[in-house]
Amino acid sequence: MNKVLAVISILFSILILFGCDMGLNEPSLDGVNGCITEEERYVENFLKVYDMFKDIQPETTTTGAASQAPQDYFNGLDIQDTNGNPVSFSEFSEEQKQYFLEYWKTARKEDLKKKINESPELLPYLKAQNNAIEASLSTQSKGAASISSFLESYNGQLAWELEAAKKDIDAAIDENAPQTRGYGDTSLAYLQSYYRWGNFFTNLSSATSSSSTSSINISGHAALLTEASVWNPLWTNNSYITVAAWGNHLNSWANGFEGVCYEPLGYWLGRIPVADGTREKVMSLYTPRNQIYVFDWFNSYYKYTYPTESERIKAKNYARSKIGRPYNWFPFDQTVTSAFYCSQLVWRSWNYVNSKYNIDGGLGICWWVTPADLMTSGDSKLVFRSYNY
């Protein structure tokens, strides 16, 4: 028996040493080496932030960055009972809240895992977020925690981590691109079948960020589809079917303007470069959706509903109405409408339609939204993805 236990102990030590995935050994949340994925780490960190600040009112940082209360994230979730009646997280007993949070953890991890499989460049991005969250949480103590000081630390840490992760993000795109790349007539026609008002493009390529300088590191770009078709599906370079916010007036389509403008589809196809000559490597097209949590003590599950045509029209009309607004160089309050950055415009267009379309997968207390947040949200679904090589 002792020999059997000794063998089991040795095998367990080997697993800990080399990691569950034979080479991937992430640090566990308690600081001991263990087997944990980045999506699991992120969800646990999300709940640590919630637990740290759940009894604290929103604050404004010294730089003017607004925040929201952690409980507002959960209060804003679409939760129903098994009869379809709406229920609120705020009305749950403490026991119900804990039970729901355990279920939410499982659902959120499942969705993030799927999104990482679809878009591998999200993995180094999530790792950067996790490092920034954990470093910033280490500056806080229960009972003396400050949302504003946490956000200021998190902003600085995330900017540093994302700068370090740029090569990994680009490498993930390159390594996972199929051998047969580029757009032929067939793939263009296939893409056109997903031209629906309100769908949105995103990318995380470090070279094609919507602005070269920003108060936070908004890596990547996002744009809202505002036209349902193009005049010629085989030559789409100059078909202006999306509305986006750019902070670079030197782009060929900007006409010297920094702000909300029409954008050519050729940019997303990698055919039209941005001002510095770089071209988009990958294009991901998402549709918004509403994730509904059906909560029951014995059989909780989640389901989705999708926007109606009238809701899609409302979203694209909102984005169109903001053409000409300046670029938002102070992106700490995503609710402002006097200026926009790219992912803020996409998020706001759908938030304007209905707050149930909360396509922000961010931390829950931050009032900014990045292209990666749009991709990781439970209220977004990838419908088309292709590489431009």
Which segment of 20-34, 43-57, 102-116, 275-289 scores lowest on mean pLDDT? Answer: 20-34
- Reported confidence tier of residue 213, pLDDT bands at 50, 70, 90: very low
- Residue 347: which CATH number? 3.90.1720.10
Torsion of CA 345, 351, 356, 357, to 10 degrees: -20
Shared-domain flag, residues 2 and 54: no
Shared-domain flag, residues 220 and 360: yes
Shared-domain flag, residues 55 and 169: yes
> Domain limits at 85?
37-174
103 is written with which tokens?
């279920």
Shared-domain flag, residues 74 and 85: yes
* pLDDT score for 33: 39
Work out the average pLDDT over 207-236: 62
Higher pLDDT, 347 or 234: 347
The number of distinct structural domains making up the chain is: 3
Does residue 153 sit in helix, strand or coil? helix
14 is written with which tokens?
């080997």
Q: How many CB atoms lie within 10 A of CB 135?
A: 16
Which of 55-69, 121-135, 153-167 is most confident? Answer: 121-135
Tell me the CA distances in angstroms from 234 to 55, 145, 146, 352, one per residue in order. 56, 56, 54, 34
* pLDDT score for 285: 93
Shared-domain flag, residues 317 and 227: yes
* pLDDT score for 17: 42
pLDDT at 31 over 80: no
* pLDDT score for 29: 37
What's at 233, amino acid-wise? P
Tell me the CA distances in angstroms from 286 to 150, 189, 197, 311, one per residue in order. 31, 17, 11, 16
* pLDDT score for 179: 56
Shared-domain flag, residues 200 and 133: no
- SS3 percent helix, strand, coil of the chain, rounded to 5, is 40, 15, 45
